[in-house]
Amino acid sequence: MPVHNADIARIFEEIADLLELRDENPFRVRAYRNAAQVVGMQGVDLKARLAAGRELPKLPGIGADLAGKIREIAATGSCALLEKLRAKFPPGITGLLGLPGLGPKRVRVLYRRLKIASIKDLRHAAREGRIRKLAGFGEISERKILQAAEERVGPRRFELAVAARSAEPYRAYLESGGDKAVIAGSYRRKRDTVGDLDFLVVSKAPRKAIERFVTYPEVREVLARGTKRASVVLAAGIQADLRVVPAEAYGAALHYFTGSKAHNIAIRRLGQARGLKINEYGVWRGRRRIAGDTEESVYAAVGLPWVPPEQREGEIDTSLKSRAG
């Protein structure tokens, strides 16, 4: 599997997490977090640069030691320090760090005092009322921790910034094939966390677009592959879904797959009040498509201005509804 900047950044983030769990020097922890951010934002493919026999570019905050680890990760896909740190903890403990209200300091306390090393351990301890007895936690904190742990039983979610490390290079790769590509879903709505990545590609050659999507170097597993849609799992563990649409349906599809569900339902109801049917293929009056090539045309069909994706989490704002009426 090729090593990309996002992979190097993920390793540095994990090293920082594990160092913090060990209560290591905060300056050292900060150095790895900074390195993860710097590498993750690089436009230059560091692995490709090294493979071509060139030196690493000058990176802010990256000294000789961190540069050496970048070379090591680029060559092997991991580094000795990460493996050494992983060996000191149960494998599931870093999963606790993604839960609301649980930073490295609290996870360290839970591990040392209650031997909590996984989300399963955390649920059991919270249900038994053992967490509230620890200094600095309490009953309310325990209840919130249990709620977060129960919710995590479902599909894994990724922080928006983490998802972006996989999403943006993938989108650029798809567009480099000559098609227009955009990321919809909760990622486009800029939610704090993202469950999966929803890609839309406008193409006159759907099979070619599908082929490019499933052969991306970061694809770990192909879950499904059809004539106009596909689903894969990326090396980072996040699922990505593709829908290939024609240009005339692009706006309707983008609106539909951006969501949220509640927002889409509200828009469809406004359409129904005007005798319209709205779906991912367009805005229809009977059998005639009257809009859908742009998102703006979808909103205009129900008498609304375009609504920014970040504001599409629920019912339509009452001031906008009055304009639609």
Please answer whether residues 60 and 29 qualify as being in contact, where contact means their C-beta atoms are separated by less than 8 angstroms: no
The residues spanned by each domain of the chain are 5-86, 93-151, 169-245, 249-324
Q: Which CATH class is domain 5-86?
A: mainly alpha
State the distance between the two ends of the chain, measured CA to CA, in whole angstroms: 55
- The three-class DSSP label of residue 111 is helix
Query: Domain 169-245 belongs to what topology?
Result: Beta Polymerase; domain 2 (3.30.460)
pLDDT of residue 282: 95
Query: Domain 249-324 belongs to what topology?
Result: Beta Polymerase; domain 3 (3.30.210)
Rounded distance between C-alpha atoms, residue 251 and residue 257, angstroms: 10
The CA-atom distances, in angstroms, between 14 and each of 1, 17, 281, 308 are 19, 5, 42, 34
Query: Where does 93-151 sit in CATH, by number?
Result: 1.10.150.20
pLDDT of residue 223: 86
Pick out the chain residues at pLDDT < 70. 1-2, 98, 152-155, 315, 317-325
Identical fold at 93-151 and 249-324?
no
Please answer whether residues 6 and 169 qualify as being in contact, where contact means their C-beta atoms are separated by less than 8 angstroms: yes
Mutual angle of helices 104-114 and 5-21, in 10-degree steps:
50
Rounded distance between C-alpha atoms, residue 186 and residue 198, angstroms: 8
DSSP string for residues in 206-268: HHHHHHHHHT-TTEEEEEEE-SSEEEEEETTS-EEEEEEE-GGGHHHHHHHHH--HHHHHHHH
pLDDT of residue 320: 56
pLDDT of residue 313: 85
